[in-house]
Amino acid sequence: MSSLLFRFILLVLVAALAATGSFLLAYAAATPWLDNQRLALAEAGMNWQHRLQTLEERVATRRIGNEEEALALGRQIERELGEGTQVCAQPFGTPPRCTAQTPHGNKRMRWLPADQWGTLHVSVPAQTEAMAGALARYNRTLAILFLFSAGVGVTLLLWVMRRQISRLDAVRHALSRLPADFETRLPAGGRDEVAELERSFNRMAELSGELFAERAQMSAALAHDLRSPLTSLLLYLELAEGEDEPASRAEFLVLARNKGAEIARLATQLQDFGAMTAESHLTTRVETVDVAALCRTLWAQTTQDAALRGLVCAPPVGVDASLGWPTDPLLLERVLANLLANAVKYSTAGGTLRLSVSHAPQQLTIQVGNPTALERTPDPILAALAEGRPVRKESGGYGLGLNLVARLVGRLGGHFDFSIEHGQCSATVRLPRLPAGMRAGDAPPLPEHPRGRDCL
């Protein structure tokens, strides 16, 4: 705001200088006319003074014998000098006969006749009509020059202000088109506040357009993720309904239950994703968790799910003895459940899943490994982990599992690494030892991301 105020003051000064310059230029152009008016005024004044001097000399040589002759001389002087002239005769020792008040601005003189009969009090206008006309034309010309220069300064000021107002009006018009049109961009030129506002609008329009496009893509992808297991669930239920053999019906029901569990897991991930996106801090409840017991329980459930997909679960490493660790039990369970579900879902048939747990005095490390058809980590996954956003899968679905793991681990102050090397996928979680009795909202938040968008 200070810069804008400074620019406004500078603009006013420039307008004043422009007005002054235009006045000087116009005055220089009108100088011949003004000189003529000054010359005419001077000539009229000199002629008037010459007439007065001539009459005074005539009165000084005139002899007056009585008052009637003095009054007659006074009327003659009034006729010669014109309207506005007053002459009063005053014999010596008596007051003047003229009682009319002298007009304001008249010049009062005392003329003495030659015979010393008395005094003629003569009151004449300070300027004649010729003098008044020349002076009026001169003043009128100066007024026109002043109005012209003021008009130049005001026009310049209004032109620049209109340009600034038009830029603000363009911002208002662009804002009114949101969210229907995110393609509008403003010409952000300059370094003033309005230019900064234009650049901010362009950034907002760009990010908002990307966000709306991503949300539309996310809706379509989530519909795909839900439709696939839902279709399989309905198919298995239909097959179970038409199957007479109890064993076959039970097999179809197990498959239907697994698809239902997949839908429930996807719904939970979506709910967690929405909650993590809406909250800037995650509510934590730190207590000592038996990590080994939790891993054994989840690994047993994973072994059953893996067997249905033709996978093998190797014995977990580091979970035989009790391992107490201060952290949030619910968030840790969500992290492990998402990692194991992701490993089962994307492992190649006949592969082996592995789980290992290790710890140092201030760090807990959990690693989940599974076979994959890929030889290395795809660039889209690396970009997603770097930018903190979900990545649409080649099947048309939307990946939320790794996204939630990264968010949850970050909320707990830890680090999450994901890599694929030589057909082996490795997801590693490193968690710090949180202080006991941490209150809600004290868990460290996720770090800021380069584009300010949602994390993966």
User: How far apart are alpha carbons 209 and 215 in whole angstroms?
Assistant: 10
Q: For 354-407, give the secondary structure using H, E and C.
A: EEEEEEECCEEEEEEEEECCCCECCHHHHHHHHHCCCCECCCCCECCHHHHHHH
Q: 84: which DSSP letter?
A: T
Highest mean pLDDT among 189-198, 255-264, 347-356: 347-356
Domains of the chain and CATH, by start: 2-130 (no CATH), 282-456 (3.30.565.10)
User: How far apart are alpha carbons 74 and 122 in whole angstroms?
Assistant: 8
> For residues 332 and 129, which has the higher predicted lDDT (pLDDT)?
332
Tell me which residue of 432, 419, 289 sits closest to 359, measured CA to CA.
Answer: 432
pTM of the model: 0.44
Of 91-105, 260-274, 418-432, 439-453, the poorest mean pLDDT is in: 439-453
- Measure Cα distances from 321 to 126, 317, 353 in Å: 123, 10, 21
The amino acid at 345:
K
User: How far apart are alpha carbons 248 and 240 in whole angstroms?
Assistant: 7
Q: What is the DSSP string of 324-342?
A: EEEE-HHHHHHHHHHHHHH
Tell me which residue of 424, 391, 388 sits closest to 409, measured CA to CA.
Answer: 388
**Joined tokens for residue 392:** 């649409």
Of 16-30, 37-51, 123-137, 380-394, the poorest mean pLDDT is in: 380-394
User: How far apart are alpha carbons 41 and 301 in whole angstroms?
Assistant: 115
Average pLDDT, the chain: 75
3 state SS of 417: strand
> Tell me: the pLDDT tens digits for 84-141?
677 777 777 676 555 445 555 567 676 667 666 677 777 777 667 777 777 888 888 8
Residue 386 is predicted with a pLDDT of: 47
Please list, in sequence order, all residues whose beta carbon lies within 8 angstroms of the beta carbon of residue 102, skipping any fewer than 6 positions away: 86, 108, 123
User: How far apart are alpha carbons 398 and 415 in whole angstroms?
Assistant: 23
